[in-house]
Amino acid sequence: MKILDGRELAGFVKERQATEVRSIMGQGGADNLGRPPKLLIIRDNDNPVITKYVGLKIRYGEDIGVAVEDYLADSVDEVRERILSANEDPAISGIIVQLPLSDTSRTDGIVSLISPSKDVDGLTGEKSQFDSATATAITWLLTGYDIDLKPPARIALVGRGRLVGGPLIRMFSASSYDFDVFGHDSDLTKLNQYDIIITATGKPRLISDSMVKPGAVVVDAGTASEDGVLIGDLDDAVRERDDLRAITPHVGGVGPLTVSVLFDNVIRAAKNRS
């Protein structure tokens, strides 16, 4: 069985990105004032899981020469104001809102404020100049391990969320892939009819062993927190099998490549502005 190790692929991407940033700096910086590309991360809570993700992005930026600012707002209203000011700041190449917000009912309104030219996480959907970082990372991961998504492969997408399911639906439709979409409350026993299962619901252990057929490829992009520990959509029994074609590890699958795609978009945004 093949392990879909995103960390290995991210290492190659990081080398290329460091070279690109050096090239930008050699040409006067991202804003022609000698400043590097800059990512602004805005959040309104210090949940341990969120803090961990932010820390990974800060370290990644340091490795390739991209500046990262972690802005912790006191309220959703302050998040709004910081986005509006950052949209007009030439020193900021890309903006992301680290979800979830403390008031999730305001998510759509808040992320819609990000300038499409700086929406490096693809949060504003089709309006953004960039595809979803997580959805793109999944396609990079599968391509990097020679998993062919074209028919006759049958693909199941579990989850219709903003960050993964929705963007993948648009991507796969444009590529004419053979796929079906399931919600977390769908009849998931039908998943054992599919060659590739991509799940991103944030419902811990939603996908059981009996739902996955031998020889399947399984990508778990779901994340939830239980007592500060990250839990995916897959039951542990699925990972214990040795008759699958390929599967993401519990840690280090889609996540590392998502960060790589995010910084790829920051670099692109910087190039576009300069």
- Each residue's pLDDT tens digit, 256-271: 999 999 999 999 999 9
pLDDT in tens, 178-226: 999 999 999 999 999 999 999 999 999 999 999 999 999 999 999 887 7
Using the structure block, give the residue that is written with the tokens 């903006």: 95
What percent of the chain shows pLDDT beyond 70? Answer: 99
Please write the tens of the pLDDT for every residue from 137-180.
Answer: 999 999 999 999 999 999 999 999 888 999 999 999 999 999 99
Residue 89 has pLDDT above 70, yes or no: yes
> Is this model's pTM higher than 0.85 or not?
yes
Residue 240 and residue 269 in contact, taking contact as beta carbons nearer than 8 Å: no
Helix (H) or strand (E) holding 144: helix 133-144
Angle between the N-to-C axes of helices 165-174 and 133-144, in degrees from 0 to 180, rounded to the nearest 10: 60
Domains and CATH numbers, the chain: 24-120 (3.40.50.10860), 133-254 (3.40.50.720)
Compute the residue count for the chain. 274
Choose among 4, 45, 6, 53: nearest CA to 230.
53
Phi/psi-derived region of residue 242, left when phi > 0, alpha when psi is between -120 and 50, beta in every other case: alpha
Which residues in 223-252 are b (16+ Cβ under 10 Å) and which e?
bbeeeeebbbbbbeebbeeeebebbbbeeb
Q: Which residues pair with 180 in a beta bridge?
A: 156
Helix 48-64 to helix 254-273 angle (10° resolution) is: 50
CA atoms within 13 A on the CB side of 271: 12
Beta-carbon count within 10 A of 97 CB: 25
Helix (H, G, I), strand (E, B) or coil at 42: strand
The mean predicted confidence, pLDDT, of the chain is 94
Report pLDDT for 231: 86
Q: Residue 265 corresponds to which tokens in the numbers above?
A: 């978009």
pLDDT in tens, 3-55: 999 999 999 999 999 999 999 999 998 888 899 999 999 999 988 878 888 99
What is the arrangement of strands in the sheet containing 2-3, beginning at the earlier edge strand? Answer: 2-3, 246-247, 217-220, 196-199, 154-158, 178-182
